[in-house]
Amino acid sequence: MRLFWLPLVLALGTGAARGEYILLAPAETPVAGQPITLYLMITNETQQTIDVAIPLQLDLRLTAEGRAFNASFAADPPPSPATAQLAPQTFRKIRYSGALPAELEGTVTVRARGLESNSLVLAVQGAPAPPPAVAQQQPAKAPGPSYPPFFSALSPYDPMYFALGLSSDAATKFQLSLKLQFFTEDAPLAQHAQFLHDLYFGYTQTSLWNLGEQSSPFYDTDYQPRLFYFSPDIWDASGRNVRLGVESGLGHDSNGKSGTDSRSVSVAYVKPILTLGEPSSWHWTIAPKLIAYLNKSDNPDIDDYRGYVELQVTYGKVDSWQIQVWGRKGPAGFGTEVDITYPVPGLTLGNLNGYFLVQYVDGYGESLLDYNQRTKSQLRLGLAVIR
């Protein structure tokens, strides 16, 4: 696939004057497990006044001797407002307070996740031993697990849920999905070529399960590996809460069957992702997906039903309701899905994690096996782990 869209992406990402973010080391000697203070300096090296975003917290990635840790440092005091104007050739310095993980010791590399800034190298002293009397009364806890780099590079991709159909002929549906970042921020190669941070392998598996039938067979399963580039913030309108991201790559869908039930399709796609509003508050996400079919020999007319454009529109808040509407339209049919979710703890169900899910599906091709058949509209209730 020719990446003809990369020049446009780069042009959008660099078209506006932006501030430079510089992490500054603490004045005191950092000690593992103890509070320290970091500073973030935002500079305006241009000849015009610019708007800059001031992070409410720094999400830090810390690496030492092949082990990776995460830590969050909060602005002290919190900035008000979260954006500021910088005059030409001026800067602003913000203080952040937090504590380093108790397991750290020695040379530690510190990077701010989601922020284009420099990295710090700190010499961290080990956590002091507890007083003898305390050590006798309460044994020191064993260090928490430090996960290998492979696991720290895993993150959610598409929604993950389990939903039970309400009509007698409705199949139960569940979906699993993860993505793997090939090069983390700590990888030496990625430090010299920043675009490598944004290369991913994704995998989604969606199954329809006929629980009501004898032996509860799986009706159909769609296996969806992806190889793609993803950047959530290639452009933003400073102070206006408008951001543009992009996902683009190659995908394959297959139901793993043979003979006349075999279905598979390979595509190339580009999906711009527009976010309107503050992510921590009520906001919109609009994501059209443009599709080019590369191989559809098992089902040569699948583009008549799936079309060449999918649209996903989401409105919601992190700790409240979210409604997501997805749809596609081809010359011979359409498909749509509506997912409404709400955090389970908000429904006074204790500490059970996840989201209560109501799902409505209508149109063609909910399963890859029946891509050219319109199924009866379905209503499902379930639990989403990731929405």
Residues with a known catalytic role:
252, 254
Whether the CB-CB separation of 147 and 161 falls below 8 Å is answered with no
CA–CA separation, 387 and 318 (whole Å): 10
CA–CA separation, 112 and 242 (whole Å): 21
CA–CA separation, 377 and 359 (whole Å): 11
- Tally Cβ neighbours within 10 Å of residue 33: 15
CA–CA separation, 239 and 51 (whole Å): 6
- Residues in contact with 29: Cβ distance below 8 Å, sequence separation at least 6, in sequence order: 123, 125
Q: Which helix (H) or strand (E) holds 303?
A: helix 302-306
CA–CA separation, 256 and 207 (whole Å): 12
Whether the CB-CB separation of 383 and 357 falls below 8 Å is answered with yes
Of the CA atoms within 13 Å of residue 215, those in its CB half-sphere come to 3
- Residues in contact with 116: Cβ distance below 8 Å, sequence separation at least 6, in sequence order: 21
Spatial CA neighbour of 375 closest among 164, 162, 249, 208:
208
